[in-house]
Amino acid sequence: MTEIVAGPATGAIARSTGAFRRAIRRWRFHAGLFVLPRLQTRHSLMQGIAMNMLSRFAAVLALLMGFASLAQAHEYELGPLEILHPWSRATPGAATVGGGYFTIENKGDTPDRLVLVSSDIAEKVQIHEMAMSADGMSSMKELTDGLVVPAKGAVELKPGAIHLMFIGLKHPLKEGEPFLATLSFEKAGTVEVKFVVGPAGAAGGEAEHKHN
């Protein structure tokens, strides 16, 4: 019976401490090659779990935001046009004008034009454009030729820019009390839309500029 008690490597280690150190270094190197990828695997597994939780969280958040925006966002289709989320703002007690905002998208190959807006809540509705005068004061100008919606394009009506002006309000606009208005386009025709009314005093408020 033969019993091997020491292999060549053990002999080498025994022979010199230098060889022993080299062997240890070599072992660490190989162990490192072996251990590091495992650590990385475990790390990316944790990352995977974190990402998974994050994406679930994002999905839930998106769902909640979807529900929230369902109550707020609304849109209307009129031929190739889409009118997105008409909204306005509550007016302070004595105000006789209010603003109206929405986005018009035109999927069609020809431009169209918003030519007329009317609503029971106001004596008249104008399409206004904001302009900055030389002295830095903002003023408004009525777009008497209407508002062009470019082909395959969009126009956004928003505070401080192009907007609808409800002039001669029959009653103040109150937050949470929507109202109706009729938009007439040169080509696409007419659509009645609901304006949701948000809080007063958002940036670039209509109350801030003068109407004659």
Helix H or strand E segment including 46: helix 17-72
Closer residue to Cu ion, CB minimum distance, 89 or 128 = 128
Closer residue to Cu ion, CB minimum distance, 158 or 187 = 158
User: Residue 127 in contact with residue 142, Cβ under 8 Å?
Assistant: yes
Report how many residues bind Cu ion under the rule CB under 5 A: 3
Helix H or strand E segment including 155: strand 153-157
Q: Candidates 20-28, 80-88, 163-171, 197-205 — which segment interacts with Cu ion by CB under 5 A?
A: 163-171
With binding defined as CB under 5 A, does residue 165 bind Cu ion?
A: yes
Q: Candidates 30-38, 64-72, 104-112, 162-170 — which segment interacts with Cu ion by CB under 5 A?
A: 162-170
Min dist. Cβ of residue 167 to Cu ion (A): 8
What residues contact 161, with CB distance under 8 A and at least 6 apart?
129, 130
Which residues 109-148 are close enough to bind Cu ion by CB under 5 A?
128, 140
Closer residue to Cu ion, CB minimum distance, 157 or 165 = 165
Question: x/- string (CB under 5 A) for Cu ion, residues 49-88?
Answer: ----------------------------------------
Instruction: Write the burial class of residue 196 (CB in 10 Å: 0-12 exposed, 13-18 middle, 19+ buried).
Output: middle
What residues contact 167, with CB distance under 8 A and at least 6 apart?
96, 97, 122, 123, 124, 125, 126, 211
Residues that bind Cu ion (CB under 5 A): 128, 140, 165
